[in-house]
Structures are given as structure tokens and as C-alpha cells.
A and B are shown apart, each in its own frame.
Chain A
Amino acid sequence: MLSVNRRPGAPSRDRKPAAAQPGAPPLEARPRRGYLWRMPGEVIEGRAGVMPHAALMLRVARERDRSAFAELFGHFGPRVKSYLMRLGSDASGAEDLLQEVMLAVWRRAATYDPSQAGVATWIFTIARNKRIDALRRMPRGGLDPNDPALQPEPPPAPDHEAEAMRWEGAIAEAVAAMPREQAEILRLAYYEDISHSDIATRIGVPLGTVKSRLRLAMARLRTRFAEQE
């Protein structure tokens, strides 16, 4: 199933626990998303038998399964806390905000759509928005999937969940394959300093260099956008 539409040269995605669970629903038969996002220096451990995050999300949504939620918390809690601290929260502020983020994950589990985003991306956007809320103390909208004004997209491919996974993996690969200074500038932009001038000060390059590196990184990502359009 996962080999459908694979681009030539794309790394194989179906070698991890997939075969270990014959007869399991396709969602649960997937390799865990973290395996797809191999970054430079990351050690990939074998963890066959671990349920993929999307399947855990479905359990939380459908069965309000607390052990599934605890597993998601165990994986994403420390990462979200790290994200919040990198962007300036102190440890106790990050801990409080993490509560809000994970409470939202529990509450909105039923709105998670695996064809639209990976679990990591979905939780990232919740954390990003909660952080903005806390800074501005202003409620925010966000994209409402039930919005009647939402312009529908073209009908998804038959295997659209695998398709979503394929392009999310492609994005991660594009980031991983970037020249170091471009990947670094993206990391700083998302995870360290928010303003371009803060980034410039931090790494000791002129503001124009920050902007041109970001532009180059965007140009690389844009080739991935093009594959989607």
C-alpha cells in the first residue's frame, strides 16, 4: 500500500513493523512517523511493535483511551516542553503551557485528520498557537475544518493517508538534505529566535544574510510544494 506513488529514489518506508501485524488496520500497520524523519546525527533505534502515533490518536479520539494518551504524552510532552523553553519560557512556564497544549490534544483528538498532517505537525501547530495565546492573551481563530467558507481541495487520491505521509516525509527529507547553514537558519527561525534580527545577532551575520539564507531554504521547500500542486 505504501509503495503506491513512491517517487523514484525515495527511501523505502515500509520496512519497519508493517509486516509484523498481518490483518491489522492499515493505519496501525504503519511505521512510526519518527522513523521517516531521519535528520543528520539522529540515531534510529529499532522499536518494532510500538503503535504509530496516528493510531494512538485514533484511540484517544474514539475510545478516550488514557494509556494511548499517556504514550503520546511520553513522546511529545518533553519535546513540546523543549520547544517552549527554546522560545523563551522558563521551566515552570513551559510546564504550565504544556498542560494547555496536551489538554487541547485530548479535547480536540476527534478533529485530528491523518490525511492532513502527521501527529507531530498537528501537535506542533497546537503548541505554536498556545504559545501565541499566552504571549498576547488574546483568543485566536485558527483554521476551522468545519468552516463553510473553506474552499474544498481536489478529491484526495485513493490512498490519501499514505499520500499525506509521503509528502510529510518528503518535507523532512528536504530539510535534512539542505546545506547546513540553511537547515540551521530554519531551525533558528522555528525553534530558537523569532525575529530575523535576533537570529542575525545570535549567529553574527548581517540581517541580509539571514534573509537570503531563509529565501534559499524556502526555494528548496518550494520544489516540494510544486510536487503537491
Chain B
Amino acid sequence: MNAIQAREAADEILLDHARGAASAPVRLIVEAHVALDPAARRRHRCLEAVGGAMLETIEPVATATDALDRLFARIDAGHGAEAAATRDGSGRFPAVLRAHMPGGIDALPWRQVARGVHEAALGVEDGPRKASLLRIAAGRAIPRHTHRGDEMTLVLEGDFSDEHGRYARGDLAVADGSIEHQPVAGAGGDCICLVVTSAPIRLTGKLLRLLNPFLPR
């Protein structure tokens, strides 16, 4: 997967979200990504506009004759009150993500997966796909690995670098089985990422390979 393919893969994820075909973990990472990255938000908006354009040209289907009356009756019954704005004032993480960590980031079920690397599942799953947070201590590396399935990584805080580039807050990295890499967190501070994977990583370092049979599947 080269840089152009990675960009295409990222756009394909935005497209799946825009057309309503993304699974729950993918919706989460796309919505967090577009909140943090204005350029991605504009591309996503273009893809949503495709859906809007098609709504204008679709063959209409007549609605029930009482549909509008039913709606006004519900509005009269108080169902149409404006939704209260929800905000907790913290801009550390996108709102869509904070909804999945009601007790804050420290209350998540963190477990160590490598030296200086912790992971916490967010409980957002769809089949084999699941979303989790990854915290890599400053300057630490995730063991060299490749992927059995695909992997999307969104940087929420700090930054990391691998053979393919440097990723900072708001950047989305997309990897598949063709990518082998060893992400290293920047020295400035811990790197916190939102990760969506469809299969466990496969370690490729010489000694670490021996651990593969013991990794969760």
C-alpha cells in the first residue's frame, strides 16, 4: 500500500460513512476524524452532498395522507422540543468519542500490551471489527507488526512515526496486510490513538514472531 493507495483507502472509508454503509466502529473513527481534521471534513461533506443530490432526483413515493397531521400531532404532544445541547466543555477528545468513555479516559479498562503500550477496548464492535484506544508512552515503539485484516489509526493526542510518515492529531493512518511497520511515539509526550481493527496484529520481529500463537484472536 503506497501513499496514493492509503489516501484512496481513507476516502473509501469516508464514502462508506457518507452512504450509510459503515459499521459502528468505523462510524466512530470517521466522525472523530472529521471533527479533528477540517480537510477530511470537507471531503466527507462532498460525499454527503452526493447523497443529497440524489435525493433531489429520486423517484418520489407518495406519503400516507395523514402523515403530516400525525407529525403535527406529535409536535403538539411535545415531541418536537429542541434537543438540549450536550457539551462538557472539554475539547480534549471529540464529543462522539467522549460518549464512549463516560468516566473519563482513566476509567477505561486499560491493559498493557507491550512495554509502554496500553490498550483499552471501547465496547464498540461489529463482528470482528472493534474500536479501542491505544496509549503509547513518549518515545516508545509498538513492536514491528503487520495486519491480518485492516487497521485504521486516528491520532488523538501526541504523534507517532513509522516507515511511512509522521502522524499528528487528527491524522488517519490506514493499513492492511501489505503494510509492515513499527510505530514510534514522538518524544514530546504520550501518543493516544483511536484504533479500529478487524483482526489482531501479526508480530514480525524475529523473536516476537514466536509470540504470535499466544496473541488474542
Contacts A151-B38, A195-B21, A218-B15 given: A106-B55 contact, CB under 8 Å? no
| Contact among B11, B87, B89, B170 with A222 in the assembled complex (CB-CB below 8 Å) | B11
Q: Judge whether A190 and B54 touch: CB under 8 Å.
A: yes
Q: Which chain A residues numbered 83 to 103 have a C-beta less than 8 Å away from chain B?
A: 83, 85-87, 91, 94-95, 98-99, 102-103
Q: Judge whether B31 and A228 touch: CB under 8 Å.
A: no
Residues of A within 8 A of B95 (CB): 141, 144, 147-149
Question: Could you give, for residues 202-222 of chain A, a 1 whenever the CB lies within 8 Å of some chain B CB and a 0 otherwise?
Answer: 000000000000110010011
Q: Judge whether A150 and B35 touch: CB under 8 Å.
A: yes
Nearest CB to that of A53 among chain B residues? B56
Number of residues on chain B facing chain A (CB within 8 A): 65
Q: State A153–B56 Cα separation when bound (angstroms).
A: 28
Q: State A55–B41 Cα separation when bound (angstroms).
A: 25
Contacts A79-B55, A218-B12 given: A171-B79 contact, CB under 8 Å? no
Q: Judge whether A118 and B52 touch: CB under 8 Å.
A: yes
- State the main secondary structure of chain B at its contact with A: helix
Q: Judge whether B31 and A142 touch: CB under 8 Å.
A: yes
A112 within 8 A of B: no
B80 within 8 A of A: yes
| Contact among B8, B37, B49, B67 with A151 in the assembled complex (CB-CB below 8 Å) | B37
A62 within 8 A of B: no
| Contact among A33, A86, A102, A214 with B15 in the assembled complex (CB-CB below 8 Å) | A214
Q: Which chain A residues numbered 157 to 195 have a C-beta less than 8 Å away from chain B?
A: 167-168, 171-172, 175, 186-187, 189-191, 194-195
Q: State A120–B48 Cα separation when bound (angstroms).
A: 10
Q: State A102–B68 Cα separation when bound (angstroms).
A: 9
Residues of A within 8 A of B60 (CB): 78-79, 81-82
B37 CB to closest chain A CB (Å) equals 7
Residues of B within 8 A of A15 (CB): none
Q: Judge whether B58 and A221 touch: CB under 8 Å.
A: no
Q: State A94–B58 Cα separation when bound (angstroms).
A: 15
Residues of A within 8 A of B91 (CB): 147-150
Residues of A within 8 A of B55 (CB): 76, 79-80, 83, 120-121, 123-124, 127
Q: Judge whether A107 and B52 touch: CB under 8 Å.
A: no
Residues of B within 8 A of A128 (CB): 19-20, 51
Contacts A107-B82, A141-B99 given: A153-B63 contact, CB under 8 Å? no
Q: State A6–B85 Cα separation when bound (angstroms).
A: 37
A201 within 8 A of B: no
B51 CB to closest chain A CB (Å) equals 4
Nearest CB to that of A215 among chain B residues? B8
B42 CB to closest chain A CB (Å) equals 5
Residues of A within 8 A of B80 (CB): 103, 106-107
Closest 8 CB pairs of A and B: A121-B52, A78-B60, A141-B96, A148-B91, A120-B52, A172-B53, A128-B20, A147-B95
Give 9 A-B contacts (CB < 8 Å), ordered by A residue.
A33-B56, A73-B67, A76-B55, A103-B75, A121-B55, A125-B52, A141-B96, A149-B92, A171-B49
